[in-house]
């Protein structure tokens, strides 16, 4: 699943390329009524966690969630024919973006947008994120910290890869419970810094000195100490932890 760093990267790139422009908007696949958006000015592209919101003049926000396999293709020539499965095309002179395989691509009325925002916790990549609220939410979460980090109502934008790598960096076991303010704050600070690196690189970056490597995620052994990585199911996903660098509480 594309995690928050990639969603923010899409938003940043499309904001730079499309915002302020009158767009040709279509749905080659036919599963979206593009009429309310076609020929109107795109005011802004906004990322919040794993969600994208397109704010268009005189139209409801357009909500996109990429799900497990969704992605955007960019074309420098908007005359390039779209693929058969393109749900949404956003185009202006000189560029087009094609959306493929999202789980959500839908108009979102004002009350739906408010409900979406209310359902999400702080996003480490948003300038308006409240770090103290993030600390409080993680501290108040019931159950294991590794499950809480996948709950978008606690922190928005994290997925399984970031869960594994951030908990490793913070020295926290995924099964730890009742995380106090100090470790929660340290974990949030790691999330803010490393997700920004990931957004800029277009991939998970948990070691700036070796950006293509991971510490424990999908590794047989810990890259730091060589211990065999422990794996188990937590929150519906496979958790990864080093038994030495992330000792169980």
Report, as residue numbers or ranges, the catalytic residues. 2-3, 50, 237
Q: Looking at residue 220, what DSSP letter applies?
A: S
Please state the separation of Cα 182 from the chain's center in Å. Answer: 25
Q: Looking at residue 143, what DSSP letter applies?
A: S
* Length of the chain counted residue by residue: 249
* CB distance 242 to 230 below 8 Å: yes
Query: How many whole angstroms separate alpha carbon 15 and alpha carbon 43?
Result: 9
Stretch (H or E) spanning 193: helix 181-201
* CB distance 67 to 39 below 8 Å: no
Q: For residue 161, give both structure tokens.
A: 């890869």
The per-residue DSSP string of 44-84 comes to EEEEETTEEEEEETTSPEEEEE-TTT-EEEEESSTTSPPPT
Residue that has been written with the tokens 């990585």 in this structure: 229
Closest CA to 247 of 160, 164, 171: 171
Q: For residue 186, give both structure tokens.
A: 């340290």
């Amino acid at each position: 699943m594309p995690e928050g760093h990639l969603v923010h990267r899409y938003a940043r790139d499309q904001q730079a390329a499309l915002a302020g422009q009158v767009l040709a908007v279509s749905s080659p696949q036919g599963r979206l009524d593009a009429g309310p958006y076609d020929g109107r000015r795109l005011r802004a592209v906004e990322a919040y966690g794993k969600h994208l919101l397109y704010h268009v003049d005189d139209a409801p926000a357009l909500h996109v969630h990429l799900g497990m396999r969704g992605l955007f293709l960019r074309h420098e020539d908007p005359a390039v024919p779209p693929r058969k499965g393109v749900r949404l095309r956003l185009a202006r002179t000189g560029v087009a973006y094609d959306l493929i395989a999202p789980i959500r691509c839908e108009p979102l009325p004002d009350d739906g947008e408010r409900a979406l925002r209310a359902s999400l916790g702080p996003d480490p990549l948003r300038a308006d994120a409240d770090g103290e609220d993030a600390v409080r939410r993680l501290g108040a979460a019931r159950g294991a910290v590794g499950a809480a980090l996948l709950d978008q109502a606690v922190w928005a934008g994290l997925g399984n890869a970031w869960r594994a790598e951030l908990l490793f960096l913070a020295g926290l076991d995924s099964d730890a419970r009742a995380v106090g303010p100090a470790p929660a704050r340290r974990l949030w600070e790691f999330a803010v810094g490393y997700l920004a690196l990931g957004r800029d690189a277009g991939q998970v970056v948990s070691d700036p000195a070796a950006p293509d490597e991971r510490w424990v995620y999908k590794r047989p052994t810990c890259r730091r100490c060589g211990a065999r990585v422990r794996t188990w199911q937590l929150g519906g996903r496979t958790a990864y932890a080093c038994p030495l660098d992330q000792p169980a509480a």
